Amino acid sequence: MFARLLKTVAKVEPHETKAVLIGFVYFFFLMASYFILRPLRDTMGTVYGVDHLQELFTGTFIVSFIVAPIYAGLASRIRLATFLPWVYGFIALTMVGFYFAFQADSENRWIAAAFYVWLSTFNLLTISVFWSMMADIFSKPQAKRLFGFIAAGGTVGTIVAPLFVTTFVGVIGTNNLLLISAAGFAITGFLVRVLEAEKRKFVALDADAQKTSMDRSLGGNPFDGFVLLFKSPYLLMIALFLLLMTWISTVIYFQLGDLISHEFASKADRTQAYATIDLAVNSAAVFIQLFGTGRFIQRFGVTTGLLLNPVIMVVAFLAVAFSPVLMVLGGIQVVRRVAEYAVAKPSRDMLFTAVDQQAKYKAKNVIDTVVYRFGDLTSSWISHLILPFGVVGLAVFGIVIAIFWFPIAYILGKKYESARGEIDTDGKDAVAGH
């Protein structure tokens, strides 16, 4: 009966049910563990100083650039089935470490900066690992049906987490959120092992599933991700799409941080404001992911999914330019992130179902961490220079970015949809057969 319900809601075939549900629960714990800490991270940004956020973005880029080859080097030498769970286990241990650091000095500006940088680094890494696994299990046709539903698991987690924070942060205190998050990451590591075992069974049952194994290391060297990226026009285009998306996100982040800092005086009020926005975004996104994402992408295609955000952002920044107040900007942040999480993000992650396993785990990690944080870095310094001209100046900058973003999204989507098999990422960028 439950399998029939899933087939009705999200077109999940009976033999896909277990793998999809494990992916759903895995993403739930991953995103809940992060979103419990996200308002705290943003608050630590205000402790360090809104006028110095570009410094935190610079630090995050540097740490991401260091972590990416370390991750690729370990993946090259350790079985994926062993290595990937320990990614989450290590992060859980670091959260326990920050718990003791904040207990010792909760107002230390440099501890706040270290926490902001580390959380901003690993959250992209963990999400990249998750979607690498999904692209390593499901094929292109399956991804169009299933990625929206699986993404909803993460969105449910992002609803539960800020709701928990807004309800209990005054009772349990901000520091204890770190221990709760650490427990969630430990559970996530366990679920990776469960999903890896299910992948082996799933491959035997489904002829369309990705015929790869996690019972091996990837081989190669720590810098393969960078090499693959710069050799493949297809991967470079994905990187450019993400870079422009990141610029848009950072512009809004600066606008919002500036307005919230002026509107609310205390850390608790700022934390609650950020958590309220998260709750509004994720409540709307989960409904679309459960009931609409798969149908939307199957009906209109990945290209339309990629184009949705650039179109929305041109309209949104025009609204901010004419009415630069917190309510308008907060509403725009909600609309932008709903469109991104419900449609654009699953569409972008589907692009990796058409590349080989090396690109899925190594090049994707570089794109999702180093390229993303390079976008944060460059946009944060530009936004810092524009901020003295006010929110309207940032809005004009955002409109220019969105205009350039549109054709990149269109070309990338068409390239993916026209591929007849696995896209060659070894420099030729031709379409190869399986």
| pTM of the complete model | 0.81
If pLDDT is split at 50, 70 and 90, which confidence band does 392 have?
confident
Whether residue 373 is contained in a domain is answered as yes
Residue with the bigger pLDDT between 352 and 107: it is 352
Percent of the chain predicted with pLDDT > 90 = 20
Whether residue 1 is contained in a domain is answered as no
Whether residue 5 is contained in a domain is answered as no
The mean of the pLDDT values for the chain is 82
Whether residue 115 is contained in a domain is answered as yes
- Per the structure, the count of domains in the chain is 1
Q: Which domain holds residue 226?
A: 10-427
Q: Is the pLDDT of residue 237 over 80?
A: yes
Phi, psi angles (nearest 5°) of residue 236: -65, -35
What is the pairing mode between strands 431-432 and 422-423?
antiparallel
Closest C-alpha to 325, from 396, 390, 250: 390
Whether residue 107 is contained in a domain is answered as yes
pLDDT in tens, 301-331: 889 989 888 888 777 777 766 666 666 667 7
Kind and range of the H or E run holding 227 = helix 224-231
Question: Rounded to whole angstroms, how far apart are CA atoms 264 and 279?
Answer: 18
Give the 3-state secondary structure of residue 432: strand
Closest C-alpha to 191, from 33, 32, 24, 78: 24
For position 93, which CATH number holds?
1.20.1250.20
Percent of the chain predicted with pLDDT > 70 = 87
pLDDT at residue 207, as a whole number: 61
If pLDDT is split at 50, 70 and 90, which confidence band does 96 have?
very high
Whether residue 2 is contained in a domain is answered as no
Whether residue 153 is contained in a domain is answered as yes
Kind and range of the H or E run holding 269 = helix 267-291
pLDDT in tens, 8-40: 766 777 778 888 899 999 999 999 999 888 878
pLDDT at residue 387, as a whole number: 65
DSSP string of 144-178, one letter each residue: HHHHHHHHHHHHHHHHHHHHHHHHHHHHH-STHHH
pLDDT at residue 81, as a whole number: 86
Closest C-alpha to 20, from 31, 9, 34: 9
Whether residue 156 is contained in a domain is answered as yes
Exposed/middle/buried for 14, CB within 10 Å: 0-12, 13-18, 19+?
A: exposed
